[in-house]
Structure 1
Amino acid sequence: MWTLLRPVLVDVLLAALLTALTVVTLLGQPGSASPWAILLAALSVAPLAMRQRAPVITMLVILAAIAVASLAGFIDVSGGIGPIVAMFSVATLRPRRVAALMYAATAALLALVYLTARDQLVWSQIVQGALIIAGAWVLGEGTSSWARRSEMLAARAERAVADERVRIARELHDILAHHMSVISLQAGLAEYVLEADQPTARQAIGTVGDTSREAMLELRRLLDVLRVDRDEQPDLQPQPGLATLDELIARTRTAGPVVTLLVSGTTRPLPPGPDLCAYRMVQESLTNVLKHAGPADAQVALEYTARTLTIRVTNGGPHLRAHTESYGIRGMRERAELYGGVLVAGPRKAGGFAVSLRLPLEET
């Protein structure tokens, strides 16, 4: 509440001070000032108390007071700081067309002052007054533009923070969903064959250990990027990419499915962003196979052409329950769009599920 009232209180104090100074100045001039002259002098600045709440009305009242003073012959109150501050307020707080109308009204008032007191004023005084009001208009317009730019930058920063949160959530989902799926399946297998087949149980437990350590390593890399306290040396190992695709497929095979990798065309390195995007797409697709496709086998196909890289992950699982608008698939689609790619996911006519990603390679 105090934050809202503080600007208004400042305006009230400013208007009271300017009104007092204007009246004192008028009373200090030779001759006796009439009560009407004092009232019009006060009305030429007192409305500034409401300049932020009603800038147009404030300026109209000030201009009306000056116009009446001019017609009544009170030349001493026909100008001053009131119109300047009012013009600045209108230009700052209202659209440009409104400010233009207020300036036109001020110019008409200056012409009226000159016509009614031509014997006491020279045309240069009127031109000077018009230029001063125009300067207040330009200054107010500049202040308004600066405020709009500040709001735009603040909104852009807020969007960037929101986008970064989404990116972090996507990274966490991709890391945890895959590794925890492998760990869950291997832990269940170890429990099931612990007494009947101890070598298989030991192998499953070893896979759980390796997968959990890799998950912790990827999480540490992500947290190193987010860490505010940089006293510790961060892990500078690169993010996973298509170069580590064999390790991902081997880890998935330990969970049960038979995964085959097919590569056609001339392979080439990708920039870090698209490379991570392609890796996460394969990782999330294989995770969905583990979670939803039961014992189905899967195939990962990479096709390099002159301008595109197409990755297709398919499986023929009869019990597939993945949804085309799940969180993981939405995350893959957002990653693809970030780098100009297109991702399509859905059931296959022959059964099973397919996820296809096409990334442009022109910049590479």
Structure 2
Amino acid sequence: MIKPPAGSGRGGAVTALLAPLTQPSADHTPLLAHASRRWIRHLPLALAAAAVCALLPSAVNVLHHDYGLGLGLAASLAVAQTVPLLLAVSRPLPAWWLVGGADVVGSVLVLLLGSGSASLPWPATGLVGYLLLMLPLALREPRRVLVPVWLVTAAAGLALSLAGLGHPGGDNSVLAVALTGVVLVLGGALRERAEARRLLAEQEHISEAERERRTLLEERARIARELHDVVAHHMSVIAVQAASAPYRVPGIPTAAAEEFTAIAGTARASLAEMRRLLGVLRSEESDADRTPQPGVGQLAQLVETVGRAGVPVELAAPPELADALPPAVGLSAYRIVQEALANVVRHAPGARARVSLAVDDHRLLVTVVNGAPPARAESLEASVEGTGQGLVGMRERVRLLDGRLDTGPLPDGGFQVAAVLPLDTSGETTA
């Protein structure tokens, strides 16, 4: 014969249902403790204290005069039924055990020792205090706790009503159970709504962080695609020089010629691997990625394009600067100026701008300054577009070269972008 497992059947179901009542929440943070204003943080405790001050003398008076209990017994029951409301601010479930137990004991004592004809089984003050307790309980505890609380309340009310049959006073157990359910439903709905809003805010924060991370990764991939041409040019030079060295240098030893041949082969293999890498980094705009990469020498054309978009730009750069810059530095300088001017067209249409480039102490100084936009100016940003993510792209390009970027508004309402790019791109210097 197979025996049923322990705890099965009706008894096991009741035990499982009532189990949450013996497991109070580990979170003892008072209600509204995370509010920004101090008076709101102290509001629940103040309301609980006001409720105790109002209910305590009323409960003593009702239990003594309306239900005929002795003054000492009435005072003790009143204290047990009201003072635990202060505990409900941070520990509502233990407070429910205290208040609920005191209410049941008080009803039993009224049935046994009372002489009044007031309604049973819940004295009016005890019912009010119990309903006040239900609100913080519903705001703190989950649904798996609220349902057993309501069932225990209904069961206790039914048992006390049956015990008080024939009492001259009325029966208010149905009213107590109904009001308790209403308060628990409303409080639980408020709690679940607040929890849903909190989870939504957390998800939005996570989504924003993930969006920023994705934007940064896209910008880094774009910069890597652009720098491919620069690196490929150097690798091509190495391959050509290594392959032609045995023919350009007379009397070269055989071992050295073999070394040059190996270097040329390695360079060509590296170029092939770089082409595969570039294929991985290609975006949907593959045609744009195959165009030659610009440099400082193309800034004049960029300034002309921005001028046609309605933003007059003044360019100050030495003519010989284009040939003096390393390709990576020239490309980064061009992209920084391009993004800065695109931001001017987008956010300050019609404002005058000035672009200046200068070399100082083995560093390239790039400055883009614009004034305040004129009133009612219309943007023509479709004519001038940046290639990256604005300031995010500028910072990544400067970081790549171990440089420095300063951006910020000016007192006259304009904006300034200033970048310092070291000309030594070997990575041995720091900004």
Please give the TM-score of this superposition, normalised by the length of structure 2: 0.43
Distance of 2:95 and 2:341 partners within structure 1: 59
Distance of 1:204 and 1:188 partners within structure 2: 19
On the 8 A contact 2:322/2:330 being kept in 1, the answer is no
Give the one of 123, 143, 152 matched to 1:105. Answer: 152
On the 8 A contact 1:52/1:89 being kept in 2, the answer is yes
Q: Residues 133-212 of structure 1 correspond to what in structure 2 (within 5 A)?
A: 133-180=180-227, 182=229, 208=327, 211-212=331-332
Residue equivalent to 1:79? 126
Residue equivalent to 1:247? none
Question: Please, which runs of 5 or more residues in structure 2 have no aligned partner?
Answer: 1-28, 115-119, 242-319, 349-371, 374-378, 389-431
**Aligned pair in 2 of structure 1 residues 90, 175: CA closer, same or farther (>3 Å)?**
same
Which residue identity does 2:216 align to in structure 1? A
Residue equivalent to 1:16? 49
1:174 CA displacement: 2.7
**Aligned pair in 2 of structure 1 residues 219, 174: CA closer, same or farther (>3 Å)?**
farther
Residue by residue over 1:8-31, the C-alpha shift from the partner in whole angstroms, topping out at 9 and shown as x without a partner, is 854443333222212222455574
Residue equivalent to 2:92? 55
Give the one of 319, 336, 351 matched to 1:216. Answer: 336
Question: Please, which runs of 5 or more residues in structure 1 have no aligned partner?
Answer: 194-200, 242-364
Residue equivalent to 2:316? none
Residue equivalent to 1:327? none
Alignment of 1:39 with 2:72, yes or no, is: no
1:78 CA displacement: 6.9
On the 8 A contact 2:100/2:130 being kept in 1, the answer is yes
Residue by residue over 1:52-101, the C-alpha shift from the partner in whole angstroms, topping out at 9 and shown as x without a partner, is 43222111111100011001106636732222232233332222121111
SS at the partner of 1:56? helix
Distance of 2:82 and 2:230 partners within structure 1: 77
Which residue identity does 2:170 align to in structure 1? V
1:102 CA displacement: 0.7
Look at both structures and tell me which one has the larger radius of gyration over its CA atoms.
2
Distance of 1:11 and 1:65 partners within structure 2: 22
Distance of 1:226 and 1:83 partners within structure 2: 62
Which residue identity does 2:140 align to in structure 1? L
On the 8 A contact 1:92/1:144 being kept in 2, the answer is yes
Residue by residue over 1:105-163, the C-alpha shift from the partner in whole angstroms, topping out at 9 and shown as x without a partner, is 1112222342344424434x322211110001101210121122111111111112211
Q: Residues 108-119 of structure 1 correspond to what in structure 2 (within 5 A)?
A: 108-118=155-165, 119=167
Structure 1: which 4+ aligned runs deviate by more than 6 Å? 4-8, 184-190, 201-207, 221-228
Number of aligned residue pairs: give it.
Answer: 230
Distance of 2:386 and 2:214 partners within structure 1: 14
Distance of 2:125 and 2:89 partners within structure 1: 23
On the 8 A contact 1:15/1:48 being kept in 2, the answer is yes
**Aligned pair in 2 of structure 1 residues 187, 117: CA closer, same or farther (>3 Å)?**
same
Distance of 1:148 and 1:25 partners within structure 2: 37
Distance of 1:238 and 1:15 partners within structure 2: 61
SS at the partner of 2:90? coil
**Aligned pair in 2 of structure 1 residues 117, 151: CA closer, same or farther (>3 Å)?**
same
1:173 CA displacement: 1.0
Which residue identity does 1:146 align to in structure 2? R
Give the one of 141, 161, 178 matched to 1:94. Answer: 141
Distance of 2:208 and 2:176 partners within structure 1: 48
Residue equivalent to 1:338? none
Distance of 1:115 and 1:161 partners within structure 2: 60
**Aligned pair in 2 of structure 1 residues 114, 222: CA closer, same or farther (>3 Å)?**
farther
Which residue identity does 1:216 align to in structure 2? I
Deviates more, 1:42-51 or 1:217-226: 217-226
Residue equivalent to 1:66? 103
Residue equivalent to 2:20? none
Please give the TM-score of this superposition, normalised by the length of structure 1: 0.50
Distance of 1:167 and 1:17 partners within structure 2: 53
Residue equivalent to 2:415? none
1:215 CA displacement: 2.0
**Aligned pair in 2 of structure 1 residues 117, 7: CA closer, same or farther (>3 Å)?**
farther
**Aligned pair in 2 of structure 1 residues 202, 15: CA closer, same or farther (>3 Å)?**
closer
On the 8 A contact 2:80/2:102 being kept in 1, the answer is yes
**Aligned pair in 2 of structure 1 residues 127, 223: CA closer, same or farther (>3 Å)?**
farther
